[in-house]
């Protein structure tokens, strides 16, 4: 078991995800990535991150829709 805080980065642009993850890992965070809201939803359920950084506008489901979906789900 690790004491690192786990951050899930959800963004449809790979370059942005990589930049955010690289900087977070440099300061000691454990990171996971998701490229869309559906992938992000599954990752939250499976990984239970401490923090979720979500892009506001993504194709096939916005970050706002993802957060609303997570708020409604009993496991989250």
Whole-structure pTM value? 0.91
β partners of residue 31: 7
Mean pLDDT of 54-64: 92
With a cut of 70, say whether residue 1 has pLDDT above it.
Answer: no
From residue 54, alpha-carbon distances to 3, 9, 25 in Å are 23, 6, 17
**How are strands ordered across the β-sheet holding 30-34?**
30-34, 6-10, 51-54
Query: pLDDT digits over 15-57, tens only?
Result: 999 999 999 999 999 999 999 999 999 999 999 999 999 999 9
């Amino acid at each position: 078991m690790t004491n690192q805080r786990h951050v899930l980065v959800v963004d449809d642009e790979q370059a942005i995800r990589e930049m955010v993850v690289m900087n977070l890992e440099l300061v000691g965070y454990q990171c996971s990535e998701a490229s869309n809201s559906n992938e992000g939803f599954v990752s939250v359920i499976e990984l239970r991150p401490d923090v979720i950084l979500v892009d506001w506008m993504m194709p096939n489901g916005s970050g706002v829709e993802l957060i609303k979906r997570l708020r409604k789900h009993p496991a989250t």
